[in-house]
Amino acid sequence: NITANSSEACVKCPIGFYNPSTGQTSCTTCISGYYCDIVGTTDAKPCPTGTYNANTGSNSFQACVKCPIGFYNPSTGQTSCTTCISGYYCDIVGTTDAKPCPTGTYNPNTGSNSSQACVKCPIGSYNQNTTQTSCTTCISGHYCDILGTTDPKPCPTGTYNRDTGSKSSQACVKCPIGSYNQHTRQISCTTCIAGYYCDIVGTTDAKPCPTGTYNPNTGSKSSQACVKCPIGWYNQYTGQTSCTPCIWGYYCDTVGATYPTPCPTGTYNPSIRSISSQACIKCSIGSCNPFIGRFSCTPCMPGYYCDTVGATNPKACSIRTYNPSTGSISSLACLKCPVGSYNNNTGEPSCPTCISGHYCDTVGATNPKPCPNGTYNLNTGSISSQACIKCLIASYNPDTGQSSCRTCISGYYCDAVGAANPKPCPRGTYNPNQGSNSSEACIKCPIGSYNSDTGESLCWTCISGYYCDAVGAIDPTPCPVGTYNPNKGSDSSEACVECPVGSYNPYTRQISCSTCTLGHYCDAVGTIDPTACPGGTYNPNQGSDSSEACVECPVGFYNPLTGQISCRTCISGYYCDTVGTIEPQPCPLGTYNPNEGSNSSEACVECPVGSYNPDTGKISCRTCVLGNYCDTVGTIDPTPCLGGTYNPKVGSISSQACIKCSAGTYNPK
pLDDT digits (tens, 9 = 90+) for 302-337: 999 999 999 999 999 999 999 999 999 999 999 999
Residue 459's CB: how many other CB atoms inside 10 A? 22
Q: How far apart are CA 251 and CA 268, in angstroms?
A: 11
Picking from 6-10, 187-191, 277-281, which range would have the lowest pLDDT averaged per residue? Answer: 6-10
pLDDT score recorded for residue 6: 55
Decide: 603 and 625 in contact? Cβ < 8 Å: no
328 Ramachandran zone, left/alpha/beta (phi>0; psi -120 to 50): beta
Please, what is the average pLDDT of the chain?
Answer: 94
Which pLDDT does position 2 carry in this prediction? Answer: 41
Question: Domains along the chain?
Answer: 519-606 (2.10.50), 608-669 (2.10.50)
For residue 652, pLDDT beyond 50? yes
Residue 471 pLDDT greater than 90, yes or no: yes
What is the structure's pLDDT at 5?
57
State the pLDDT at residue 3: 46
43 in Cβ contact with 18 (< 8 Å): yes
CA 429 – CA 473 distance, rounded (Å): 8
**pLDDT tens digits along 166-197:** 999 999 999 999 999 999 999 999 999 999 99
Please give the backbone phi and psi of residue 479, each rounded to the nearest 5 degrees, phi first: -65, 140
467: left (phi over 0), alpha (psi -120 to 50) or beta: beta
| Whole-number pLDDT of residue 7 | 64
Is residue 179 within 8 A of residue 191, CB to CB? The reply is yes
- The confidence band for 668, taking pLDDT boundaries of 50, 70 and 90, is confident
Strand stretches in 485-555, DSSP E: 497-498, 503-504, 514-515, 520-521, 531-532, 537-538, 551-552
pLDDT digits (tens, 9 = 90+) for 513-542: 999 999 999 999 999 999 999 999 999 999
What value does the mean pLDDT take over residues 502-509?
96
Residue 4 has pLDDT above 70, yes or no: no
Mean pLDDT of 112-118: 94
Q: Render pLDDT for 137-171 as a digit per residue (tens, 0 to 9).
A: 999 999 999 999 999 999 999 999 999 999 999 99
Over residues 346-365, mean pLDDT: 96
How far apart, in Å, are the Cα atoms of 601 and each of 274, 558, 559, 595, 637? 135, 15, 18, 12, 21
At 608 the three-state DSSP class reads coil
Instruction: Judge whether residue 669 has pLDDT over 90.
Output: no
Percentage of the chain beyond pLDDT 70 is 99
Q: What is the C-alpha to C-alpha distance for residues 110 and 90, in angstroms, rounded to an integer?
A: 10
Convert the pLDDT of each residue in 560-619 to its tens digit: 999 999 999 999 999 999 999 999 999 999 999 999 999 999 999 999 999 999 999 999
What pLDDT was estimated at residue 664? 86
pLDDT at res. 667: 87
Strand, helix or coil for residue 393: coil
Q: What does the pLDDT average to over 64-80?
A: 95
Instruction: Report the distance separating Cα 56 and Cα 36, nearest Å.
Output: 10
Cα separation, 142 vs 159, in Å, equals: 10
User: Which amino acid belongs to residue 639?
Assistant: T
